[in-house]
Amino acid sequence: MSTNSAVSGVDTGILVEAGTNEIEVLVFRVGEERYGVNVAKVREVLSVGEITAIAEGHEAVDGVVRIRDFVVTVANLERYLYGQETTTEGCTEGRLLLLEFNNEMIAFRVHEVERIYRLSWKDVIPTPDLAALTAPVTGVICLEGRLVPMLDFEAIGANLGMAAAHAAPKRNDGELMPQADRPIVFADDSPLIRKMLQDELTTAGFNNVQGFNDGQFAWEYLCGVADDATPEELSEKIGVVVTDIEMPRMDGLSLTRRIKNHPKLKDIPVILFSSIASKINKNKGLQVGAAAQVAKPDYAELATVVCRALQQATDAKPSELQTA
């Protein structure tokens, strides 16, 4: 398999600096439709080589391929999105998007890779009315007068049965009792992840959990609370913030930076909960002042880190949280 230069040839300078609220989007085509994915999830773009069929699995899974030292599952994105494919059976045309997220690698078969666009997260429009969409989408961008959906690959991976399996958090009333009612604010653009965050944190014993579908909504809420509260009252109104990194309008790194630069909000611990557990992202989290980082979808670890952050905030001690 050969690597497509659409990824390797791009200048990714913006990926080094944290909190710029910028994104690079790889646009590709499935059938007649164009879609986008964050370049940070793209490991390589490859030609479609020999795919080995597997006996069981989702109907949209073509099989597996060997990519150097890895055996990777291949998902046929056209069949997943539309229930059928127009390409000839066994055809080797098209491209494979080798994506890495949630500590997993999955290859998605597409028809054509277009190019990479550099944008601001402000240009990504959230999609609250997901009922009208036929594909799992976290947002849309407007390119050359046309709307391009950003596919929710975390949801697609979960639907295909290829999401990483992690232990769910266990309820520990003895440990959580002092922190159970402390307010937790979280932000994530994936409807699937928002529901799981709500359910898993509640299962872990936290009683006061509120979610938002992007960083901008979360920021507006936090500022509203800060405006109406004294510094002493604020710690009782916002215990900890959990945020994804990739989100429309305002990403999690920009949200964290704003929180840490706010005179009232700066002492609130922020935990990054991201599907992209790269060294670059971890360094960015440190740059903007995140208290800890946890890789999706490790909800058990997240519950532990949230509890620790709440306890440290209560004790008013310097943060000693460990990066997951």
Residue 229 pLDDT > 60 = yes
Residue 264 pLDDT > 50 = yes
Q: Higher model confidence: residue 68 or residue 224?
A: 224
Looking at residue 169, its pLDDT comes to 67
Residue 70 pLDDT > 60 = yes
Looking at residue 38, its pLDDT comes to 93
In 3D space, the residue among 248, 268, 261 whose CA is nearest the CA of residue 189 turns out to be 248
- What the chain holds in terms of domains, given with CATH numbers, is 5-159 (2.40.50.180), 173-315 (3.40.50.2300)
In 3D space, the residue among 282, 289, 243 whose CA is nearest the CA of residue 121 turns out to be 243
Give the residues across from 157 on adjacent strands.
none
- pLDDT-derived band at 41 (thresholds 50, 70, 90) equals very high
Residue 45 pLDDT > 70 = yes
pLDDT tens track for 115-130: 999 999 999 988 755 4
pLDDT tens track for 27-36: 999 999 999 9
pLDDT tens track for 268-304: 999 999 988 677 778 899 999 999 999 988 999 999 9
pTM: 0.81
pLDDT tens track for 144-187: 889 999 999 988 988 888 765 455 666 655 555 567 889 999 99
